[in-house]
Amino acid sequence: MIILKIIITLFLLFAILTLIKQFKKSQIALAGFLFWLIVWITVGIVFWQPELTTRLANQFGIGRGSDFIIYISIIVIFYQLFRIYAHIEKIETNITKIIRKIAIDNAQDNRKLDKNN
């Protein structure tokens, strides 16, 4: 169990340091940085103090801490999927607007060329 604790702790430190490096290089927005920082810190707390999840689960009427973590994880995953879906929809709308603008500009340029010939 000690080896697992060392490996998980090193992984968490690596993840947090990588996150900080990405934020310093402006590769991740502040909101994303804070979200993932909270996630990794929470994972560390839950890993080192698993009895906290059981106490928290009991507050919500759930018997086991691991069940509580699974429920919360599913909620967070679905929320992230929703955000990704909304972002993709926004990108597709922007691409459509750009393509439409380019097509209109090209059509207008073609008319000008036709008038000049």
Domain shared by 2 and 31, yes or no: yes
Q: How many domains does the chain have?
A: 2
Kindly state whether residue 58 falls inside one of the protein's structural domains.
Answer: no
Kindly state whether residue 54 falls inside one of the protein's structural domains.
Answer: no
Kindly state whether residue 76 falls inside one of the protein's structural domains.
Answer: yes
- What per-residue confidence (pLDDT) applies to 117? 61
Q: Residues 42, 3: contact at Cβ < 8 Å?
A: no
Domain around 112: 65-117
Dist. CA 89–CA 17, nearest whole Å: 32
Q: Residues 14, 43: contact at Cβ < 8 Å?
A: no
Domain shared by 37 and 74, yes or no: no
Dist. CA 73–CA 106, nearest whole Å: 49
- What per-residue confidence (pLDDT) applies to 90? 97
Kindly state whether residue 16 falls inside one of the protein's structural domains.
Answer: yes
Domain shared by 72 and 116, yes or no: yes
Q: Residues 19, 37: contact at Cβ < 8 Å?
A: yes
Phi, psi torsion values for 59, nearest 5 degrees: -65, -30
Domain shared by 40 and 77, yes or no: no
Here the tokens at position 105 are 């500009």
- pTM for this entry: 0.67
Here the tokens at position 97 are 């607007």
The list of the chain residues with pLDDT below 50 reads none
Kindly state whether residue 56 falls inside one of the protein's structural domains.
Answer: no
- What per-residue confidence (pLDDT) applies to 93? 97
Kindly state whether residue 116 falls inside one of the protein's structural domains.
Answer: yes
Dist. CA 44–CA 5, nearest whole Å: 10
- What per-residue confidence (pLDDT) applies to 115? 76
Domain shared by 43 and 88, yes or no: no
